[in-house]
Structure 1
Amino acid sequence: MKKAFIHQIFYSEETRLALDNGFIPLDNSGQRPDWCEYWPIRNFIGHQEMDDDALYGFLSPKFKSKTGLGASDVHQFLASVDAATDIVAFSPFFDAGAVFTNIFKQGASGQRNAWPVFVESVRLLAPDVDLDTFVTDSRNTIFCNYFLAKPRFWRYWFDKAEMIFNSAEENNSPLGLGLNQTINHTSGPTPIKVFVIERLVSLLLATESRWSVQLFNPMSLPVIYLGADRFGEQLAMLDALKMAAATTGRSEYMTAFATLRAQICR
């Protein structure tokens, strides 16, 4: 892979000083904190020219703490990526992706208000998708917007994201009101719209086969749930069962998934 412009977002002097020198600083100080990373991404895609052959990324200040990866690790991996690749992902939390049927169910776990908003958001973005039966696996699960992509994907992603943005900003429909509800998060109360946007890339990759994707091995990155590292083989099996179900459409794989999940998540 020849060219990559990897930005790292900062919100304050403290987060600016903590940035990785191997990334390009992207200032979001004092700007719409209710949208978190989407606001600076939106400003960039909407106003900057992009090289169609290059990869672009917009990482949060917590990239190193969540992935254990520095800029040198990212660039070293990119050197092995085929130039035709559309998307390169560096997603942690393999456990969170493996133990839930899909990334939206994971996001709604323990957050009762989030699920109906997720359902309505997906109905707007991908009307044919039923979140109750929708399956995502490690081939398409990306947390925290930790991915790089060529402009053609970013522009497509942006058009979809703006549907959520406009609904939330208008705030005059059931969906708009729901998107602006807050739920508890490690960084404090956060609007549900942020978590919808973070899951958009996974929705697109799981429903559209036209994108070429290369993944940094998610099983080598940190997990999020306490004690999950004790269940490495079982997590791999859960993920493999979901892959098989998504590939073949056979319900028996998801039946086996549910049985194995119940043994782990007691």
Structure 2
Amino acid sequence: MLELSKPSSGGRSVEIRQIYYSDETRLQLDPGFIPLDNCGERPDWREYWPIRKFLLGHALDENTLYGFFSPKFGQKTTLRSSAVNAFIASVQSDADVISFSPFFDQSAIYLNTFEQAATNQPGIWPVFEQSVALIAPGIDAHAVPMDSRHSIFCNYFVATPAFWRRWLEMCETLFAIAETGNSALSGQLNAPAVYGRDFAPSKVFIIERVVSLLLAAEPHWRVKQYDPIQLPMSGSMVSPYPVDLSVLDALKTAAIETGRASYLQIFLQIRETLIQTARRARNAAAPQA
């Protein structure tokens, strides 16, 4: 039976929609989530288009948490809707955002989600720099630390209407620029960036990072996250080192909470040591020619 909503321990309802864009992806949906049809609609915006369409077209209930997951949510997190709902029910009712982000290795090893993307999408820094300066003045995309509370990949989170409205406000600023097509930033947002073995518009990668930017720039938002170490890692060469990754994450947390640069200096030192260790292990395991 389709679960349209489920109350949390704080008396709030939960509505999680799962996006599909073809008959094939519809078959991947978790029956405990609400299907959200995006067939044939603006694939250049990926998941942002159906999320935007819903948020602009519906009056949100202030006593409901909303989420919008891609069809690969189960594959990337190994979580079913029952586990998602159970965790939400266990969270205190004052949380603004509840995260189910996988890939702890990717969030821990990098200073922030922008550095993470720039490593995988070469040449994307200029669009990040200009976009962040526009929607979060005063934040340096190269320097702002993000720990596991802030680092959310794939938009795998549920949130209050207030948070979604603020998120949409920031995204719409970039959306308007990308759609007009008459500025340098517009060209950068629409330019292709490497995405695995394919390409995707750069705007997709900045939109996916708006949630992390918002949480880092406006610390009054209260976040609870599903234990990221219990979720799949990305398979990177540092994935086999959860203890070291946890130390890196804790150092970023300490830097954020205290404002002390010394924690980030230690973070950089330990990160370099971990990368060297992981690289040696990978090379040792590689078949000899």
User: Does the pair score TM above 0.5?
Assistant: yes
Q: TM-score, normalised by structure 2?
A: 0.89
Deviates more, 1:134-143 or 1:75-84: 75-84
Partner-residue secondary structure (3-state), 1:184: strand
Aligned residue type for 2:205: F
Count of residue pairs the alignment pairs up? 266
Residue of structure 2 in register with 1:81 after alignment: 91
Task: Give me the whole-angstrom Cα distance separating, in 1, the residues matched to 2:208 and 2:57.
Answer: 21
Task: Give me the whole-angstrom Cα distance separating, in 1, the residues matched to 2:121 and 2:75.
Answer: 24
Contact 2:122–2:194, Cα closer than 8 Å, also in 1: no
2:137 is the alignment partner of 1:127: yes
- 1:101-116 correspondence runs (5 A): 101-116=111-126
Identity %, equivalent residues:
48
Contact 1:77–1:216, Cα closer than 8 Å, also in 2: yes
* Aligned with 1:93 (options 93, 103, 109): 103
Superposed CA deviations along residues 174-202 of structure 1, whole A, max 9, x for unmatched, are 11110111112137311110110110011
Residue of structure 2 in register with 1:200 after alignment: 210
Residue of structure 1 in register with 2:151 after alignment: 141
Contact 1:7–1:24, Cα closer than 8 Å, also in 2: yes
Residue of structure 1 in register with 2:75 after alignment: 65
Contact 1:54–1:150, Cα closer than 8 Å, also in 2: yes
Task: Give me the whole-angstrom Cα distance separating, in 1, the residues matched to 2:214 and 2:120.
Answer: 25
Superposed CA deviations along residues 57-79 of structure 1, whole A, max 9, x for unmatched, are 00000001111101111011111
Partner-residue secondary structure (3-state), 1:228: coil
Bigger Rg over Cα: 2
Task: Give me the whole-angstrom Cα distance separating, in 1, the residues matched to 2:142 and 2:73.
Answer: 31
2:226 is the alignment partner of 1:216: yes
Aligned residue type for 2:160: K
- Which segments of structure 1 move beyond 4 Å, counting only runs of 4 or more? none
Task: Give me the whole-angstrom Cα distance separating, in 2, the residues matched to 1:149 and 1:99.
Answer: 26
Task: Give me the whole-angstrom Cα distance separating, in 1, the residues matched to 2:239 and 2:120.
Answer: 21
Shift of residue 83, structure 1, vs aligned partner: 2.1
Aligned residue type for 2:104: F
Q: RMSD of the TM alignment (CA)?
A: 1.2
Task: Give me the whole-angstrom Cα distance separating, in 1, the residues matched to 2:226 and 2:42.
Answer: 31
Residue of structure 1 in register with 2:248 after alignment: 238
Partner-residue secondary structure (3-state), 2:186: helix
What 5-or-longer segments of structure 1 have no aligned partner? Answer: none
Task: Give me the whole-angstrom Cα distance separating, in 2, the residues matched to 1:208 and 1:216.
Answer: 21
2:274 is the alignment partner of 1:264: yes
The verdict on how the C-alpha distance between 1:252 and 1:229 changes in structure 2, with shifts beyond 3 A counting, is same
Contact 1:92–1:221, Cα closer than 8 Å, also in 2: yes
2:32 is the alignment partner of 1:22: yes
Superposed CA deviations along residues 231-252 of structure 1, whole A, max 9, x for unmatched, are 1111001111111111212221
Contact 1:96–1:225, Cα closer than 8 Å, also in 2: no
Residue of structure 2 in register with 1:150 after alignment: 160
Residue of structure 1 in register with 2:191 after alignment: 181
Shift of residue 227, structure 1, vs aligned partner: 4.0
Residue of structure 1 in register with 2:172 after alignment: 162
Task: Give me the whole-angstrom Cα distance separating, in 2, the residues matched to 1:73 and 1:61.
Answer: 16
Task: Give me the whole-angstrom Cα distance separating, in 1, the residues matched to 2:36 and 2:109.
Answer: 34
Shift of residue 18, structure 1, vs aligned partner: 1.3
Partner-residue secondary structure (3-state), 1:265: helix
Task: Give me the whole-angstrom Cα distance separating, in 2, the residues matched to 1:145 and 1:187.
Answer: 21
Contact 1:108–1:115, Cα closer than 8 Å, also in 2: yes
